[in-house]
Structure 1
Amino acid sequence: MPGDESSGSKTSTNQKPYGVVNIKTHVHIILDFNELNYDGWRRLFETHCRGYWALGFLDGTSLPKSDKDEEWYTLDFIVKSWIYVTLTQPLFTSIVKKNSTAHSIWQSLEDLFRENKDTRAIELENEL
């Protein structure tokens, strides 16, 4: 985790996310509500975040040490921006909220797509 010195050199783990200029070269799927591509997008995104010591920002295990933990807020902002640029415009518009964290956005997407998946399964079953 960023800031966790036991997981390696603080500099090497904390600086890694700053080096990602274009997330779309790592996560090449654009999440689209109409494409039902959430599972693939999620796997790519989690793999990317794990490789960049940022998975804790998605699962909520990385928390700021205080309200003034600038490093945590900066890294959370980076992960949020990664999420935002891998969404379609309509999905981005529906999910963006002021003062959200990467974890809250991640959870909102999970809720949105998992709920839709169950509804779609019921619709398909009824068609059969």
Structure 2
Amino acid sequence: MPNTIPEKPPHTSNPPPPVFTSQPALHVTNICNFIPITLDQESAQYATWVEFFTIHACAYNVLDHIDSTVPQPSDVNDATWKRLDASVKQWIYGTIHEDLIYTIMKPGATALELWKRLEDLFQDNKHTGVIYLEQQFSNLRLENFSNMTEYYI
């Protein structure tokens, strides 16, 4: 009897291994190395922060997460896109002051939504002024004034 190896039935063949594409944006561990300023409401550095952030997003091919006019790359599946979006959100939160984090944070928001909230905050001078005054008011302490008249002035 000849020694032959039986063929595997088609239903038991192994599936091809999954294809993993490495996304450089997922490997950024310290965003502050790339964006050297922390955005806050009191300093006039919004345009500078946007420029640094946009350059970084472009270099890591995630500009579509902060610019609605840039189409989502066709070679990125939905699961990877969500992971990239989470990374961009981490970059945003990691480069803004804590007060701004609490101002723009919205559970379930995309990076683009957070980006637009920041833009609205800094581009709308009336709104920015109100938030700044609210912040100043909330930091007022009566014990820092010598009398009530000084407190009300």
TM-score bucket (shorter structure): 0.7 to 0.9
User: Deviating runs (4+, > 3 A) in structure 1?
Assistant: 61-65, 117-120
Compute the displacement of 1:64 (Å).
9.5
Richer in helix (by share):
1
Deviation at 1:70, TM superposition (A): 1.2
* Equivalences for residues 34-113 of structure 1 within 5 A: 34-60=42-68, 61-63=70-72, 69-113=78-122
* CA–CA distance in structure 1, aligned partners of residues 103 and 71 of structure 2: 25
23, 26, 33: which one aligns with 2:31:
23
The Cα of 1:116 is off from its aligned counterpart by 2.1
Larger Rg: 2
Counterpart contact for 1:64–1:72, Cα < 8 Å: no
CA RMSD of aligned residues (A): 2.5
Q: 1:119 to 1:18 in 2, by over 3 A?
A: closer
Specify the code of the residue in structure 1 equivalent to 2:118.
L
Shift in CA distance, 118/108, structure 1 to aligned 2, threshold 3 Å: closer
Question: Secondary structure of 1:106's partner?
Answer: helix
1:40-77 deviation line (CA, Å, top 9, x unaligned): 00000000000000111001345599xx9211110000
**8 Å contact from structure 1 (residues 38, 113) kept in 2:** yes
Q: What is the SS of the residue equivalent to 2:36?
A: coil
Following the alignment from structure 1 to structure 2, what is the Cα–Cα distance between the partners of residues 48 and 109?
17
Higher relative contact order (CA 8 A, sep 6+): 1
CA–CA distance in structure 1, aligned partners of residues 124 and 109 of structure 2? 21
Over the matched positions of the two proteins, sequence identity in percent amounts to 37
Distance 2:116 2:39 in 1: 15
Gaps of 5+ in 1: 1-9, 121-128
Q: 1:80 to 1:62 in 2, by over 3 A?
A: farther
